[in-house]
Amino acid sequence: MLQVSFIRENKDKVLEGLKKRKFKEVELVDSALQLDDQRKRLQFELDEKLAELNSVSKEIGALLKNAQKELAEQAKSRTADLKNATQSLKSQLEEIEENLLQVLYLIPNIPAPIVKEGGGAEENEIVFQSHEIALNSTGLLPHWELAKKYNLIDFELGVKIAGAGFPVYLGKGARLQRALVQYFLDKNVDAGYQEVNPPHVVNEASGYGTGQLPDKEGQMYHVGMDDLYLIPTAEVPVTNIYRNVIVEENQLPIKNTAFSQCYRREAGSYGAHVRGLNRLHQFEKVEIVRIEKPEDSYEALDEMVEHVKEILNELELPYRVLRLCGGDMGFTSALTYDFEVWSAAQERWLEVSSVSNFETYQANRLKCRYKGSEKKAQLVHTLNGSAMALPRIMAALLENNQSPEGIVLPNKIARYAGMEIIN
């Protein structure tokens, strides 16, 4: 979340950033400042009362020592009044601080200067495209038909077991899925990321730490009895490793990668565009997470973008990179690049990765800081990206590599899967 001190010192910048996002509840900015004013007034009054209480308490001892019993009793009565007053002020202060926190939770991050104003996906900027795309899907089968033809994925069986959006991978389909996971992890480890195997459920504090709560509460599966949430991405548990942590400057950058199942309710997602693997309630993904010094974070973001490009090049898939406009970015992001691969049979682009810099927005929620040479703790910058999400990668691999003989796998994955063709 934004620091209230930042909002106060940069109100015009904050409002301009919210305008880029087409954010409508700009009155929250003034609400936050008003609550902070109230908080300061209460804190000042409380400090005065506590100072007076301390002073009067010291007087009592001196009065008793000088046998001024009546004055001592009056002082004791005054301390009782002061204790009641300070308790009341503390309660009011706690309420105001909680109200301020809840308002700050509702204000999204401010987009980086390079982000353009926009209200949705149609206003995103294409910054790179690997291939020219020719529309010629004649004779090509969509991945859900290929999956059935070669007995790779059983969507109906998933419906029987759990419901729509929970596919069952079979035989060579499961083998290809496993090969992709291993390849992504190896690729990330070779790039200097430490592999982490995190929990697949998180508590409420973790959800608030990375910004899934309260923004995406309705999109997460909630285990009510235990008050836990199934993770929508490994970003949540991995980033929360550093909640309430102060790291030393020489520990930075911190680079982690993790494979996990991801669970998303995807409420309201219907239609042909979500058929097959296009949108699922459970899917597999390999994530990369970085903790950086503020001055290094945008160079790190560029490195992450190039890293994902390299993966897609090795998968031999046509892809493009988009810089998201303000209105299409996630709530917590300052700058996001989306990667989309071309679906040959569907003749449409499928998002397979998002790489984002959150600057201090998550770190402020997490209270994740670092100590530099001045020994003064500062907020870090957090970044994360998909490297990669599997369902649409699988869909694109099947559709773009189909031939009369079968699915001819790219060389890199063929080595991992131990098979060159699926037939």
Q: Which residues are annotated as a binding site for ATP?
A: 264-266, 351-354
Sequence ranges of the binding site for L-serine: 233, 264, 287, 384
- For residue 383, how many other CB atoms are within 10 A of its CB? 29
Sequence ranges of the binding site: 233, 264-266, 287, 351-354, 384
Contact 254, 242 (CB under 8 A): yes
d(CA 272, CA 276): 9
Contact 236, 201 (CB under 8 A): no
Convert the chain into a string of H (helix), E (strand) and C (coil): CCCHHHHHHCHHHHHHHHHHCCCCCCHHHHHHHHHHHHHHHHHHHHHHHHHHHHHHHHHHHHHHHCCCHHHHHHHHHHHHHHHHHHHHHHHHHHHHHHHHHHHHHCCCCCCCCCCCCCCCHHHCEEEEECCCCCCCCCCCCCHHHHHHHCCCEEHHHHHHHCCCCCCEECHHHHHHHHHHHHHHHHHHHHCCCEEECCCCEECHHHHHHHCCCCCCHHHCCEECCCCEEECCCCHHHHHHHHCCCEEEHHHCCEEEEEEEEEECCCCCCCCHHHCCCCCCCEEEEEEEEEEECHHHHHHHHHHHHHHHHHHHHHCCCCEEEEECCHHHCCCCCCEEEEEEEEECCCCEEEEEEEEEECCCHHHHHHCCEEECCCCCEEECEEEEEEEEEHHHHHHHHHHHCEECCEEECCHHHHHHHCCCEEC
Q: Which amino acid is at 251?
A: Q
